Amino acid sequence: MELNLRVLMLGWCLCFAFGFALCRSVEGLENFGEREGLHSYLESDAVSPPASQPIMVGLTLIQGAAAKGAVCLDGTLPGYHLHPGSGSGANSWLVHLEGGGWCNTVRNCVYRKTTRRGSSKFMEKQLPFTGILSNKAEENPDFFNWNRVKIRYCDGASFNGAGQDEAAQLYFRGQQIWLAAIDELMSKGMKNADQALLSGCSAGGLASILHCDEFGNLFPKTTKVKCLSDAGMFLDAVDVSGGRALQNMFNGVVTLQDVKENLPSTCTSHLDPTSCFFPQNLVANIKTPLFLLNAAYDAWQVQESLAPPSADPHGTWRECKMNHERCNSSQIQFFQDFRNQMLKAINTFSKSDQNGLFINSCFAHCQSERQDTWFASDSPLIGNKGVAESVGDWFFDRATVKAIDCAYPCDKTCHNLDHSLTY
C-alpha cells in the first residue's frame, strides 16, 4: 500500500517536472517573437502561455445590473468569468478584479467605450485562467479547486466611480459594478463561503485595496477573508521632470468620475480625495488582512509615472525606462529612491501580524495571473520562496510572510518585462 503510494507520487512528480520543461520551451519561443509594447502587453493582462492549454472560462453578463445603475462606461452590462470550485474548494471563493489603466478625461473615457475596458460589447467571450486563476494543482497549488472569478473592468476608475456625463454619454458606475457583481456572486453561493480572497492586478490591485474592507464586511467572523493586491501600490511619486505625473492623472480620474464618495472616510477626513486614491494613504488603516505583492521597480510606474513622455520631452529616459540595463548610475539611483519610497509607504502596514508582503527587486508588473511568475520551475523568488507559496503561506497562516528583497541588482530570479519589449 505504502509502496504503491510512493510509485504514484514519483510518477506524478515526473509529470510535474516534464510539464514545467514544456512550459519553459513554449514560453521561450513566444518571448522571442514578442514585439508588442508594454501597453498592449498589460492590456492583454500579461498572461503568458502555461504548461498545458489553460482552461477557457466564459463571460457572464450581470443581467440585473442595469436596473441598479451598474453599467460599463458605454451603458452596456458588466460581466465576470466564473469557474466553479470543487472538492475541498467548493466553499472557497477567489474574486479577482481585472486591471487595465484608468480614464481621466472625457476624451479618453469616450475612447475607452470603444474597447473592452469600457464596454462589454468588446469583451472576450472567454478568457484563459492561468496563475492564481488556474484550475490545475501543479500550476496553482492552493487555490486551484476554489470557485475562481474574474470580474471584468469596464468603468475606468478602479471599480470606484459614480455619476455620469450626459453630453458625452458616459456612465461612471464603478462602485455600482462592484456591488452588482458581489451581489450576484453572493447569490451564486459566495454567501456560504468559509474562505474568501479578494485579489486584483494593477488598476484591479488598487481596487482590491479600495474594496478590501467592504469585502471583509460581507462575511461573518467565522469566514477567513483576506485581500491580495498585485501591482496595486501606485506611489504618489515625483517624476523625472520634478512634477507628479501620476498624481495629475489620478486627480483627473477622481474628479471626473466622482470617486470621492466611495473612498474611506478615515482618509478623506484629513486628506484630499486624490491623495486617498493612493494606497500609501490607505493600507495602514485597512482592517481586513492584506497582502501586497509588488515589484519594487514596478515596470508600469517606471514607464508611466516616473518617466512618462510628458515628463521626458527630450526622450533622455526612453532607452533606460524600456530596459534597465541601459540606465546610467544616476538613473538607477532614481529607481532606488523610488524603491525607498515604496518601502516607506508600507512601513506601518508591515508591522501588523495579519498582513503579508512580497516586494521583489524586479522590473515587473502583475505577477499573480501570469503562470511564469506565479508558479513555475523558475519563478521569481525572495530567499527560496516564490509568489504562489508566499501568498498561500500567508493566506492559510502556515507562515509569516514579510518578504522584502535586497535592492537591485541582487535578484537573479526576476522575470523583467523590459528585456523583450519595445514601445
Catalytic residues: 202, 298, 365
Beta strands in 84-169 (DSSP E): 92-97, 126-129, 147-151, 164-165
Residue 4 or 328: the one with the smaller Cβ distance to ligand NAG is 328
Beta bridge partners of 127: 57
Which listed range, 155-163, 291-299, 326-334, 388-396, lies at the site for ligand NAG (CB under 6 A)? 326-334
Residue 88 or 329: the one with the smaller Cβ distance to ligand NAG is 329
Angle formed at CA 369 by CA 368 and CA 372, multiple of 5 degrees: 80
Q: Output the smallest distance, CB 372 to ligand NAG, in A.
A: 32
Q: Which of 331, 355, 361, 368 binds ligand NAG (CB under 6 A)?
A: 331
Share in percent of the chain as helix, strand, coil (round to 5): 40, 15, 45
Count of positions on this chain that bind ligand NAG (CB under 6 A): 5
Q: Which of 40, 222, 265, 328 binds ligand NAG (CB under 6 A)?
A: 328
According to DSSP, residue 21 is labeled H
Which listed range, 87-95, 139-147, 328-336, 397-405, lies at the site for ligand NAG (CB under 6 A)? 328-336
Q: Is 313 in the site for ligand NAG (CB under 6 A)?
A: no
Residue 162 or 327: the one with the smaller Cβ distance to ligand NAG is 327
Q: In the range 201-260, which residues lie near ligand NAG by CB under 6 A?
A: none
Residue 331 or 361: the one with the smaller Cβ distance to ligand NAG is 331
Q: Output the smallest distance, CB 409 to ligand NAG, in A.
A: 17
The three cell numbers of residue 96 are 479577482
Residue 98 or 312: the one with the smaller Cβ distance to ligand NAG is 312
Q: x/- contact string, 77-96, with ligand NAG (CB under 6 A)? A: --------------------
Q: Output the smallest distance, CB 339 to ligand NAG, in A.
A: 18
Q: State whether residue 294 is helix, strand or coil.
A: strand
Rounded Cα gap, residues 5 and 17, in angstroms? 18
Q: Is 329 in the site for ligand NAG (CB under 6 A)?
A: yes
DSSP string covering 162-228 = --EETTTTEE--HHHHHHHHHHHHHHTTGGG-SEEEEEEBTHHHHHHHHTHHHHHTTS-TTSEEEEE
Of 339, 307, 312, whose CA–CA distance to 323 is shortest? Answer: 307
In 331-355, which positions are buried (b, 16+ CB within 10 angstroms) versus exposed (e)? bbebbeebbebbeebbeebbeeeeb
Residue 220 or 242: the one with the smaller Cβ distance to ligand NAG is 242
In angstroms, what is the C-alpha Rg of the chain? 21
Distance (Å) of CA 228 to CA 204, 250, 357: 10, 22, 10
Q: Output the smallest distance, CB 331 to ligand NAG, in A.
A: 5
The three cell numbers of residue 374 are 506565479
Q: Please give the helix or strand (H or E) that residue 23 lies within, else none.
A: helix 2-32
Rounded Cα gap, residues 349 and 356, in angstroms? 9
| C-alpha of 264 from chain center | 20
Residue 88 or 328: the one with the smaller Cβ distance to ligand NAG is 328
Which listed range, 108-116, 146-154, 324-332, 361-369, lies at the site for ligand NAG (CB under 6 A)? 324-332
Which listed range, 208-216, 274-282, 292-300, 327-335, lies at the site for ligand NAG (CB under 6 A)? 327-335
Q: Which of 217, 316, 340, 347 binds ligand NAG (CB under 6 A)?
A: 316
Q: Output the smallest distance, CB 334 to ligand NAG, in A.
A: 9
Q: Is 330 in the site for ligand NAG (CB under 6 A)?
A: yes
Q: Which residues bind ligand NAG (CB under 6 A)?
A: 316, 328-331
